[in-house]
Amino acid sequence: MKSASTQAAPKTSEHNYDASTIKVLKGLDAVRRRPAMYIGDISQRGLHHCVYEVVDNSVDEAMVGYCDKIVVEINKDGSVTVTDNGRGIPIEPPPGEKASAVQVVMTTLHAGGKFDHESYKVSGGLHGVGVSVVNALSEWCWVEICRDGEVYRQDYDRGKPRKKLAKVGTRKKTGTKTCFFPDSEIFKTTEFKFDIIASRLRELAFLNQGLTIILKDHRVDKEVEFYFKGGLSAFVQYLNENKTAVFRKPIHFSKIKDDIEVEIAIQYNDGYSESVYSYVNNINTIEGGTHLTGFRTALTRSINSYALKYNLLKNSKGPKNGKNGKNGKGGMAMIGDDSREGLTAVISVRVREPQFEGQTKTKLGNSEVRGIVEAITNEHLGAFFEENPSVGKRIVDKVVQAAMARDAARKARELTRRKTALDSAALPGKLADCSLRDPESCEIYIVEGDSAGGSAKQGRDRRYQAILPLRGKILNVEKARIDKILRNEEIRAMITALGCGVGDEFNVDKARYHKIIVMTDADVDGSHIRTLLLTFLFRYMRALIDQGLVYIAQPPLFRVKHGKTEYWAYSEEEKDSIMKKLPKTGVSLQRYKGLGEMNPDQLWKTTMDPEKRTLLKITLDDAATADHLFSTLMGPDTAPRSKFIQENASYVRNLDI
Ligand code: 0RA
C-alpha cells in the first residue's frame, strides 16, 4: 500500500495543496493504513460491509421519504453498483468549500454534519462510517447523480478524484448511482456473495416498509426483489414461516414519542424458543439494550395484568406462590421467561443519537429509550388484548403452559445437579478433560461417535485439548421443550462439560473452554449432527456464538499419497489440483468418509494441530437469517426442509462447513 506522501497530489482544484485537499489525502491515507478501524476487518465481512455502507445512504434517503427503490448489482467484473431513485447527492459546493458537495461526500471522512439528512444517523458501531471509506478502499469508484435534469459523474482511483465532477448527459428523473471495485491490495477476498448481500437487503426491506430493494447478480444472471407491504409483520411471519403460529395476524404497532420512533411486531408460535430481534436505525442490536428491556418488561406486565384482570390464571395447576413470586390471587405465578416461550418479535427503533455499548458495540445504551418503548408497548398491548380477547386468551394459555414446563424443567435440572454431584469432578464420564484449567488456553472437541472420539483422545495434546465424544444422534431441540432437552443424556454431558449452565442459569463467563470445536464426519449424517449441535448452541447458549467461541473443525476429505509423501485435500478442487501436479504413477487416492478412518496421528496432523488446522469460526452477522434457516432445517415440517435443500443445495453445503 502506498501512502499519500509518495504519490502526486490529485488536481482537485487549481491549488493542488489547499487545506481541504491535504485533509482529504490525510483521511484517505488513514483509512487505507487502518481499514479495519473503519469497516471492522478486511475479510469477507469487511468487504460486504462496503456494500451495506453504500446501500445505507440510499436507505437514509428512503427513510426521509424521497426514495422507494434501490437496485444493487453485482457486476461481471466483480464491482458492485447501487442505484436509488432519491433526490441525488447535492452538487453545489457546500458553504466554505470549493469542491462539489458530491466530491466532499465521496472524499471526506464523516462528511455528515452540514449535509446531514436530518434523518436518524448512527454514531458508533460500524455503520455510518461514510461512503468515502468505501471509496478509499476501492481500486476505482464512480458516482452518477441525476438532478435538475442533468447527469453528473465523477471517477475516483483509490479515493482520489480523477477530475472534477462533470456533466455527462441529461435525464428527467433524479437519483444516485455508485459503483465501486474493491481494492485487492486491501481485502483478503474481493468476491461478493449473493446470499450474504441478499440477507441484509431482505432485512432492510422488512425494516423499511414499502421500500423495494432489488439484487441482481450479473455473474450468473440471478435476481431477487424484496418488497414487504407488511414491513415488520412480514418479518415475523417470515421468521415463523416454518412454525405454527398461535394466531394468524401479527400484533403490529408503531408510534413516535419524544423524537424516538418505535415499531414492534409480535407473533407467538407453538414452539418453545424465543426469537426476538431488535434494531436501532436499521442496525441489529445483537446484545439488546434499553429498547429490548423496555419491551420485555411491558410484554410480561401486559400479559400478566390482562390475565389477572380476567382471572385467567386462577384455575391453572401451575407453580403457585413459589420462590418465583405470587400473583396475589392464589393462582399460578408467571415470570418473564414464560411470556417469551414461542415468542417471535421484532423491535425497531429510530433514535437520533444512539449510544452503542457492549463487547461488539451492538447494545443500545440510551436510557431514555427504555421508558418510551415500555410505555408504547403497554399502551398498545393493553388495548389490543381488550379488543382481541380470543388472541389474548391464546397467549395467556401459552404462557401458562410455559410456566408449568418451567416447573418441570427446574425439577429436571435439580436431577441433573444431584446426579452429576455424585460424579468425581461433577464432569461427564466420557469427557477426556485437558490438564490445564485456564479457559483462555483450553479447547474442547465435541466429536461425533465413539470411534472418532477414541482417535481424538489419543491424538490430542492433552494439556489444553479436551474431547467429548457424543454417541449417535442428539436430540432435535427445535422439536422439544427445555425439560425434555435437559433429560437428554448427550445434551446433559455437553452442558456439564462446557460449564456455563443453560437457560435462565446460562452464564457465558463460566465457559470452561474458549474454543468449542464441533468435529463431525464429512458426510450427510455428520452434517446433520453438526446442524443439530449448532441449533442447540444457537437456541440455548447463544452468547457462546456471539462471543466467537464456537468453531467447526475441518477434517480433510482426501489423502493423496505419492511415494512416501502424503498430501491432504480439504475439497474436491484441492484434490484435483494436487493430482494434476503429480506424475500419474505411484499415486494413491483415499477418500475419507468418516473421522474414524483416520488414525490418531493423522487426525492430529490434519485437523487438531493448531499449527496446521483450519477452524471455521461460527459468526452470526445475521441472526435473523440464521434463525429462519435453523427453523427451516430443523423444524417439525419436513416439506420446507426438502424444498430448501433442493433449492439451495450448494448453499447448504457451504453453510454446513
Ligand atoms: C444530502 C442532501 C440531499 C440528498 C442526499 C444527501 C442524498 C445522499 C445520497 C447518498 C446516496 N443516495 C443519496 N440520495 C440523496 C438532498 C438535497 C436536496 O435535494 O435538498
- How does pLDDT run across 287-315, given as a tens digit for each residue? 999 999 999 999 999 999 999 998 887 65
Q: Is the per-residue pLDDT at 349 higher than 90?
A: yes
How much of the chain, in percent, has pLDDT values that exceed 90?
62
Please tell me the predicted confidence (pLDDT) of residue 474. Answer: 79
Please tell me the predicted confidence (pLDDT) of residue 391. Answer: 96
Q: What's the 82 CA to ligand 1 centre distance in angstroms?
A: 14
> Among this protein's residues, is 259 annotated catalytic?
no
Please tell me the predicted confidence (pLDDT) of residue 20. Answer: 77
Q: Is residue 185 situated within a structural domain? A: yes
CA–CA dist 276, 55 (Å, integer):
25
Residue-wise pLDDT for 546-561, tens only, equals: 898 999 998 999 999 9
Please tell me the predicted confidence (pLDDT) of residue 315. Answer: 55
208 lines ligand 1 (CB under 6 A): no
DSSP string, 305-344: HHHHHTT-STT--S-BS-TT---SSSSB---GGGGGTTEE
58 lines ligand 1 (CB under 6 A): yes
Q: Is the per-residue pLDDT at 372 higher than 60?
A: yes
Q: What's the 61 CA to ligand 1 centre distance in angstroms?
A: 6
Same domain, 630 and 501: yes
Q: Say which range, 135-139, 222-226, 453-457, has the weakest mean pLDDT.
A: 453-457
Q: Say which range, 140-149, 478-487, 593-602, has the weakest mean pLDDT.
A: 478-487
Q: Which ligand 1 atom is at minimum distance from the Cα of 67?
A: 14
Q: Is residue 112 situated within a structural domain? A: yes
Nearest CA to ligand 1 atom 8: 89
Q: What's the 90 CA to ligand 1 centre distance in angstroms?
A: 6
Same domain, 209 and 251: no
Residue-wise pLDDT for 151-203, tens only, equals: 999 999 999 999 999 999 999 999 999 999 999 999 999 999 999 999 999 99
Q: Is residue 295 situated within a structural domain? A: yes
Confidence of residue 88 (pLDDT cuts 50, 70, 90): very high
Enumerate residues 6+ apart whose C-beta is below 8 A from 563: 586
Q: Which CATH number does the domain housing residue 458 bear? A: 3.40.50.670
Written as nine digits, the cell of 569 is: 485435500
Confidence of residue 316 (pLDDT cuts 50, 70, 90): low
How much of the chain, in percent, has pLDDT values that exceed 70?
86
Please tell me the predicted confidence (pLDDT) of residue 399. Answer: 94
67: burial class by Cβ within 10 Å (0-12, 13-18, 19+)?
A: buried
Over residues 17-42, the mean pLDDT reads 87
69 lines ligand 1 (CB under 6 A): no
Contact 604, 460 (CB under 8 A): yes
Same domain, 290 and 373: yes
Same domain, 350 and 211: no
Q: Say which range, 287-296, 317-326, 616-625, has the weakest mean pLDDT.
A: 317-326
Over residues 601-622, the mean pLDDT reads 89
Q: What is the CA radius of gyration of the chain?
A: 28
Please tell me the predicted confidence (pLDDT) of residue 621. Answer: 76
Same domain, 212 and 159: yes
Confidence of residue 649 (pLDDT cuts 50, 70, 90): very low
Enumerate residues 6+ apart whose C-beta is below 8 A from 12: 21, 24, 99, 103, 161, 164
Over residues 63-82, the mean pLDDT reads 97
> Among this protein's residues, is 155 annotated catalytic?
no
> Terminal CA-to-CA distance of the chain, rounded, Å?
33
90 lines ligand 1 (CB under 6 A): yes
The residue among 226, 242, 261 that closes a domain is: 226
Over residues 577-588, the mean pLDDT reads 88
- Most confidently predicted of 363-377, 419-433, 499-513, 643-657: 363-377
Higher pLDDT, 525 or 57: 57
Same domain, 294 and 279: yes
CA–CA dist 377, 655 (Å, integer):
37
Same domain, 284 and 222: no
496 lines ligand 1 (CB under 6 A): no
Q: Is residue 571 situated within a structural domain? A: no
Higher pLDDT, 413 or 213: 213
490 lines ligand 1 (CB under 6 A): no
Enumerate residues 6+ apart whose C-beta is below 8 A from 87: 61, 66, 67, 147, 174
Q: What's the 226 CA to ligand 1 centre distance in angstroms?
A: 23
The residue among 168, 196, 226 that closes a domain is: 226
Same domain, 220 and 238: no
Q: What's the 49 CA to ligand 1 centre distance in angstroms?
A: 21
> Among this protein's residues, is 116 annotated catalytic?
no
Same domain, 447 and 362: no
Written as nine digits, the cell of 567 is: 498430501
Q: Which CATH number does the domain housing residue 100 bear? A: 3.30.565.10
Please tell me the predicted confidence (pLDDT) of residue 415. Answer: 66
Please tell me the predicted confidence (pLDDT) of residue 294. Answer: 98
Please tell me the predicted confidence (pLDDT) of residue 14. Answer: 47
> Among this protein's residues, is 521 annotated catalytic?
yes
Please tell me the predicted confidence (pLDDT) of residue 642. Answer: 62
Q: Is residue 19 situated within a structural domain? A: no
Same domain, 205 and 245: no
Residue-wise pLDDT for 381-391, tens only, equals: 999 999 999 99
Q: Enter the pTM of the model.
A: 0.82
The DSSP H or E segment spanning 590 is strand 587-591
Beta carbons within 10 angstroms of residue 424's beta carbon: 6
Higher pLDDT, 415 or 254: 254
Please tell me the predicted confidence (pLDDT) of residue 24. Answer: 82
Q: Is residue 17 situated within a structural domain? A: no
Q: Is residue 282 situated within a structural domain? A: yes
Confidence of residue 252 (pLDDT cuts 50, 70, 90): very high
Nearest CA to ligand 1 atom 19: 87
Confidence of residue 320 (pLDDT cuts 50, 70, 90): low
Same domain, 215 and 238: no
Q: Which CATH number does the domain housing residue 365 bear? A: 3.30.230.10
Domain extent, residue 238, equals 232-413
SS3 letters across 227-251 = CCCCCHHHHHHHHCCCCCECCCCCE
Q: Is the per-residue pLDDT at 441 higher than 90?
A: yes
Same domain, 222 and 236: no
Nearest CA to ligand 1 atom 9: 89
The residue among 226, 245, 277 that closes a domain is: 226
Q: Is the per-residue pLDDT at 211 higher than 50?
A: yes
Average pLDDT over the chain reads 87
SS3 letters across 427-483 = CCCCCECCCCCCHHHCEEEEEECHHHHHHHHHHCCCCCEEEEEECCCCCCHHHCCHH
Q: Is residue 298 situated within a structural domain? A: yes
Cα→Cα distances 11→77, 160, 185, 424, Å: 28, 9, 24, 75
Q: Say which range, 84-98, 410-424, 626-640, has the weakest mean pLDDT.
A: 410-424
Number of domains in the chain: 3
531 lines ligand 1 (CB under 6 A): no
